[in-house]
Amino acid sequence: MRDPHRVAVLISGRGSNMRALVEMARDYEVVLVASNKPAAEGLVWAHERGIATWAAESKGQTREAFDRQVSAALEDHGIGTVALAGFMRILSPWFVEQWRGRMLNIHPSLLPNYPGLDTHARALAAGDEAGGCSVHIVTEELDAGEVLGRIEVPILPGDTPQSLEERVLAAEHALYPRILNEFVNI
């Protein structure tokens, strides 16, 4: 049975947002950390804390074949809410349908500005006064689902994509757990 308070976090790399979600959980529990990269750093951190982990290499498989494996792992753990956190793989329409309305993502821009990659460089090149981050519902269209919350981060003179990324990342770590703690009670 799916329980909205049982959360799976999907990662592909270092997993700093996943760590923030684990550490600031109040109304939910992260019961599974799953990855399309068996070597993802974040898996080690989760395992050391006694959180179940699941990983399979996605390369060489069709999108839906891989997604069916992920979905089966989620069902096995009674997951009711999925949090994408640096999961660098586009999900199949099949998977999105399975988890419709129950799957969130964190994106490093003030959506609807700058969906996709290189958000900080694009914000700087455009001369924006602020960057930021957004948590949104995942739909078939990349970074385009309903926005549930955003934090704006001012762009400072001399900012580089890296310096802006660092400050936005700190804002991500505050925003994502806050939104998820609210979302699981809806």
**Residue ranges in contact with ligand GRF by CB under 6 A:** 11, 13-17, 85-86, 106-108, 169, 172
Shortest reach from residue 19's CB to ligand GRF, in Å: 8
Q: What tokens were used for 152? A: 């704006």
- By beta-carbon proximity to ligand GRF, the closer residue of 101 and 116 is 116
- By beta-carbon proximity to ligand GRF, the closer residue of 10 and 74 is 10
Whole-angstrom Cα distance, residue 128 to residue 68? 40
Shortest reach from residue 87's CB to ligand GRF, in Å: 7
Q: Which of 47, 77, 107, 136 is catalytic?
A: 107
- By beta-carbon proximity to ligand GRF, the closer residue of 13 and 78 is 13
Shortest reach from residue 86's CB to ligand GRF, in Å: 3
Going from the C-alpha of 51 to that of each of 31, 32, 64, 147, 172, the distances in angstroms are 6, 6, 26, 28, 22
Q: At what angle do helices 16-23 and 41-48 cross, to 10 degrees?
A: 20
Shortest reach from residue 154's CB to ligand GRF, in Å: 18
Name the closest residue to ligand GRF (Cβ): 86
- By beta-carbon proximity to ligand GRF, the closer residue of 80 and 86 is 86
Active site residue 136: no
Tell me the backbone φ, ψ of residue 19, rounded to 5 degrees: -65, -40
Whole-angstrom Cα distance, residue 184 to residue 66? 26
Q: Which residues contact 61 (CB under 8 A, 6 or more apart)?
A: none
Catalytic site residues? 107
